[in-house]
Amino acid sequence: MQLNQRNRAKIQAVFNRLASSGRVNSRERFKKLGERYGWALWEVKSFQFRFIGTFSPTRTREFVVAHGLQKKRDQHRIRDLDVAVNNLNNYFKE
């Protein structure tokens, strides 16, 4: 997935806000997707660009991005959530 300079700056601003305060007040940009196989999944978004991740269970205030995608509708496909969960399981297994 390639982000142009403008979209990259918008996403980076959301991640910077998350890193500095531990939360993002805009529900449009940052929202909890729910639980899936024991993981609390969150979405960071800017227009059609979405990043799915979770807060680290082992490190304080660390957000781990597990999957990035471009999507045009509001609902996530189950396959995308499963990819994120699989990536999280692999990341925290190491």
Are the CB atoms for 71 and 1 separated by under 8 Å? no
What pLDDT score does 67 carry? 95
pTM to 2 decimals? 0.86
What pLDDT score does 46 carry? 83
Per-residue exposure over 1-35, b if at least 16 CB sit within 10 Å of its own CB, e if not: eeeeeeeeeebeebeebbeeeeebeeeebbeebee
Residuewise pLDDT in 10s, the chain (94 residues): 678 899 889 889 988 988 888 778 888 889 999 999 999 999 998 888 999 999 988 887 789 999 999 887 778 899 999 999 999 999 998 6
Fold of 5-93: YaeB-like fold (3.30.2310)
What pLDDT score does 47 carry? 83
